Amino acid sequence: MPKTHISTQINGDSYEFLCNTQQTLLDVLRQELDLKGSKEGCATGDCGACSVMMDDRLVCACLVLGAEADGKKIETVEGLSSGSSLDPLQQKFIDLAALQCGICTPGVLVAARALLEKNKSPSEEEVRFWLAGNLCRCTGYDKIVRAVLEVAAEARNA
Amino acid sequence: MDYVTPTTAMEASKALAQDGAFALAGGTDLLVKLKTKFVSPSVIVDIKQVPKIMSIENSTDGWWIGAAVPCAEISEHESLRQDWPGLVESLSLIGSTQIQGRATLGGNLCNASPAADSVPALIAAYGTCIISGQSGDREEPIENIVTSPGVTVLEKGEFILGFKLPKPESGTGDAYLRLIPRSEMDIAIVGAGTSVSVDKDKKITSIRVALGAIAPTQIILDGLEDLFIGKEPNENSINKLISIAESACRPIKDKRGTVEYRTKIAGVLAKRTLTIAYKRAINH
Ligand SMILES: Cc1cc2nc3c(=O)[nH]c(=O)nc-3n(C[C@H](O)[C@H](O)[C@H](O)COP(=O)(O)OP(=O)(O)OC[C@H]3O[C@@H](n4cnc5c(N)ncnc54)[C@H](O)[C@@H]3O)c2cc1C
Ligand code: FES
Ligand code: FES
């Protein structure tokens, strides 16, 4: 089976790997590079558990071929914290119990971070629409939305 | 399965002429079909490195929207939104933020779903597309591309390079609305795209209404010129528009809606999009 040689940057580090055309970026992250933060909920673009940034755009890693990552800049949930210091969103999710089983959480965090980079003061409606592609079966969304709004407010007041 | 990244339109056409070749733009339809084994390509032709396919340009001739520009990038284009707000609204409805980061107009058209959201709006805006093939480029109106669900007129080796939209004359407005059972992330029961132009007396000089999801392909409503040209819309002409929309419907019935419901909604959305487009036209 033909393999494609890929060089890419993930969370600021250079990576090189070989992948089959069938492998999605999510498969590569999890199976080849041992970056298991991004989750597979559906593999068909519906749940958002695999959300990553590719060249500064929020995408579902399950709907990107690994081969398409060549020359791209990828950011995953593993890149949110630096060392042991958590991203304010991660800390707030813990403080407000905005997660239960945690499967949706990496995708929600990456998506919420992308929103806050673009919009410093989103309304509740904007948060809910932005995160409409991130399904959560546990929390009922309210705590997630509240956590995102509080982090945005604290960043504005900082 | 091979993966190739042609860097010219000719190389892309040659690659696509092979048996079992599939074009890849944003992959939000194709990768789902791969996963569910609905298709099994011999080669995937990633067309995103072909020149012009990723660009948006505004010239005196009108607009160029490359076939592989992601919807998120199109909706950030402020002057395009000013010229064709309805089109931008239609493509902003496709999927979630994540899907928007990848989904393209070329993929939305060539996937050939009757419910594709951008297609009625592109048709209403008198859009055309440039088709590249091994013998060069040709231009076709959008409404000529899809022939039945999942099927297009594209020949082996052909792909869509991009879309052309006219620069709207002053006094032009467009609108797109769809109805879905949920508030986000669902497939249209009906989609309606409308554009109108008016003169300085607010009388309509051109009108086009295209409906999606109510027949095997998108439909342009007939007989609107006699009703609307040279006049302001009134209760009588709007009621006739509703019956023309309803009688154009040949919808499927599924868990999202019955035939009767879809037919009724087609009339409602035709009326509402006309109202919005007309208001935009007189303020444009
Ligand atoms: C979760 C989810 C939600 C969605 N919601 C919506 C929605 O609300 N409304 C809607 O309309 N759609 C929706 N879609 C479907 C899909 O996102 C759109 O149809 C999208 O526009 C497809 O574009 P793409 O670039 O991703 O296509 P791809 O998957 O890359 O391609 C689709 C098809 O078109 C062909 N193709 C692509 N580009 C070209 C080209 N330039 N020339 C010739 N052939 C080409 C491919 O070979 C393939 O057969 C949704 C999909 C998902 C996964
Ligand atoms: S795993 Fe990618 S969207 Fe569900
Ligand atoms: S916390 Fe379990 S799915 Fe969201």
Nearest C-alpha of chain B: how many angstroms from A152? 19
Return the CATH superfamily for domain A3-79. Answer: Beta-grasp domain (3.10.20.30)
> Which of A109, A120, A118, A110 is CA-nearest to residue A144?
A109
- Residue A28: the pLDDT is 97
Taking CB atoms and an 8 Å cutoff, what residues of chain A touch B95? 45, 133
Fold that domain B2-165 belongs to in CATH: 3.30.465
In contact, B219 and B248? CB cutoff 8 Å: yes
pLDDT above 90: residue A16:
yes
In contact, A152 and A118? CB cutoff 8 Å: no
**DSSP assigned state of A61:** G
Residue nearest to atom 53 of ligand 1 (CA): A45
**Per-residue confidence band for B221, with pLDDT thresholds at 50, 70 and 90:** very high
Taking CB atoms and an 8 Å cutoff, what residues of chain B touch A58? 97-98, 101
Contacts 24+ apart (CB under 8 A), B182-189: B184/A129, B184/A132, B184/A133, B184/B96, B185/A46, B185/A132, B185/A133, B185/B95, B185/B96, B186/B256, B187/B113, B187/B115, B187/B213, B187/B256, B188/B115, B188/B117, B188/B212, B188/B213, B189/B213, B189/B256, B189/B257, B189/B261, B189/B262, B189/B265
Residues B192 and B220: their CA atoms lie apart, in Å, by 10
Of A20, A65, A132, the CB nearest to B96: A132
Residues A71 and B26: their CA atoms lie apart, in Å, by 17
Q: Separation of B209 CA from ligand 2 center, angstroms?
A: 36
Q: Over the stretch B72-85, which tens digit does the pLDDT of each residue have?
A: 999 999 999 999 99
The ligand minimizing its distance to the Cα of B159 is: 1
Fold that domain A88-157 belongs to in CATH: DNA polymerase; domain 1 (1.10.150)
Residues B183 and B222: their CA atoms lie apart, in Å, by 31
User: Is A45 within 8 Å of B98 when comparing Cβ atoms?
Assistant: yes
- Residue B187: the pLDDT is 85
- Residue A158: the pLDDT is 82
pLDDT above 90: residue B139:
yes
CATH architecture of B172-282: 2-Layer Sandwich (3.30)
- Residue A11: the pLDDT is 97
- Residue A1: the pLDDT is 62
> Which of A62, A132, A149, A76 is CA-nearest to residue A109?
A76
ipTM of this complex prediction, to 2 decimal places: 0.96
What Å distances lie between residue A146 and A104, A124, B139, B175, B283, CA to CA?
A: 16, 8, 50, 34, 39
Beta strands in A64-151 (DSSP E): 73-75
**Interval A144-154 mean pLDDT:** 98
Atom of ligand 2 nearest to the CA of A42: 4
**Interval A126-147 mean pLDDT:** 97
How many interface pairs between A and B have CB atoms less than 8 angstroms apart? 85
Residues A75 and B248: their CA atoms lie apart, in Å, by 48
Residues B241 and B267: their CA atoms lie apart, in Å, by 7
In contact, B228 and B212? CB cutoff 8 Å: no
User: Is A132 within 8 Å of B185 when comparing Cβ atoms?
Assistant: yes
Ligand 3 contacts CB of residue A155 (under 6 A): no
Q: Over the stretch B80-103, which tens digit does the pLDDT of each residue have?
A: 999 999 999 999 999 999 999 999
Q: Separation of B77 CA from ligand 2 center, angstroms?
A: 28
**Per-residue confidence band for A3, with pLDDT thresholds at 50, 70 and 90:** confident
Cβ neighbors of B11 (< 8 A, separation 6 or more) are: none
Beta strands in A26-132 (DSSP E): 51-54, 57-60, 73-75
Atom of ligand 1 nearest to the CA of B71: 21
pLDDT above 80: residue B185:
no
For chain A, which residues make up each domain, given as ranges?
A: 3-79, 88-157
Q: Separation of A52 CA from ligand 2 center, angstroms?
A: 10
Q: Report residue A76 as tokens.
A: 């995953």
Q: Separation of B103 CA from ligand 1 center, angstroms?
A: 6
Residues B127 and B131: their CA atoms lie apart, in Å, by 13
pTM assigned to the model:
0.96
Q: Over the stretch A18-54, which tens digit does the pLDDT of each residue have?
A: 999 999 999 999 999 999 999 999 999 999 999 999 9
**Residue B211 region by backbone torsions, left for phi larger than 0, else alpha for psi between -120 and 50, else beta:** beta
Percent of chain B's residues with pLDDT above 90: 91
B259-282 vs B235-248: helix axis angle to the nearest 10? 140
Strands of the sheet containing B56-59, edge to edge, are B56-59, B62-66, B159-165, B128-133, B136-141
B259-282 vs B85-92: helix axis angle to the nearest 10? 140
Residue B98 touches chain A, beta carbons under 8 Å: yes
- Residue A108: the pLDDT is 98
In contact, A49 and A74? CB cutoff 8 Å: no
Q: Over the stretch B12-56, which tens digit does the pLDDT of each residue have?
A: 999 999 999 999 999 999 999 999 989 999 999 999 999 999 999
Q: Over the stretch A49-101, which tens digit does the pLDDT of each residue have?
A: 999 999 999 999 999 999 999 999 999 999 999 988 999 999 999 999 999 99
Residue B70 touches chain A, beta carbons under 8 Å: yes
Number of residues assigned to chain B: 284
Of A21, A48, A60, the CB nearest to B1: A21
Residue B97 touches chain A, beta carbons under 8 Å: yes
Q: Which residue of A has its CA nearest to B99?
A: A59
For chain B, which residues make up each domain, given as ranges?
A: 2-165, 172-282
Adjacent-strand bridge partners of A6: A17
User: Is B95 within 8 Å of A133 when comparing Cβ atoms?
Assistant: yes
Residues B49 and B129: their CA atoms lie apart, in Å, by 18
**What is the pLDDT of chain B when averaged over all its residues?**
96
What are the φ and ψ backbone dihedral angles of A145, each rounded to 5 degrees? -65, -40
Pocket mutation for ligand 1, best pick of B24, B29, B69, B163 (most atoms within 8 Å of C-beta) = B29
